[in-house]
A and B are shown apart, each in its own frame.
Chain A
C-alpha cells in the first residue's frame, strides 16, 4: 500500500524559514512533487525532484532522498500569502499517478 506522512500544521512568523518534512512508502516511485493549495482552490505546482539532492527555486527549495523515502520543502522569507496547505505527492507509476499526503497547513503570523 501507500503511506505518506507529513505534519498536520506548522506556524511561523513572517520572514522566517519553515521546513516541511515528508516521508513516504509507495509501491512504485517516479519522482516527488510538492504542491501548494489555498482553501477552496486547486493545487498549484511548486517543485519536482526525481534525483537525490536539493532543488532550489526562488524562496522555495525541495530535497529528496530516495533511499530514505524522505523529502522536505523549505520555505524561506515567509510571507502572509504563503499561508496555505502544502501537499507532498510521490508519483507512483509510469503513468504519472500521484498519491497525495494529507497536507501540512502552514500558518504565517505577523
Chain B
C-alpha cells in the first residue's frame, strides 16, 4: 500500500515552453502533497506544500508564478514549470502525506534544452 506515482518519468523540453508533472496517490487519499527539487549530488529542496482545495504554500525563493501547483483532488497534484529555462533542469520529486509519513513518487527528470 501507500504507492505514489509520477508522470512523466522523464521529459525533455525546449527553453520557453511549459511542462506539467503529475503526482498521484494510487491507493490512498492525500490532503497534503509536497513538491521537491533535487540537483545532482545535492539534497532534496522543498519547493511547496500542496493542500487539496486551497492554494499551495511556497518556500522562500520559489517563484509561485513560475511553478504552478494545482491540487484539485485528494489523489492528484500537478506541478507546471512555466517558461522553462535550462537552469530549471532538475529531478522533481513529489510526496504524499499519510498519517505522519510522506510517501515519495519515483521522480521526474526534467531536461530543458
Contact = CB atoms under 8 A, between A and B. Distances in A.
Interface string B23-67: 000000000101010000011111001010000000000000000
A99 interface: yes
A7 interface: no
B42 A102 contact: yes
B104 A48 contact: no
A44 B100 contact: no
Contacts of A91: 100
Interface of A: 30-31, 33, 40-45, 48, 50, 87, 91, 95-103
Interface in B83-113: 91, 93, 97, 100-107, 109
Contacts of A33: 101-102
Contacts of B93: 42-43
Nearest to A43: B104
B102 A44 contact: no
B43 A44 contact: no
Contact of B107 (A41, A45, A97): A41
B29 to A, nearest CB: 15
A103 B104 contact: no
B46 A97 contact: yes
Nearest to A91: B100
Contacts of B46: 97-100
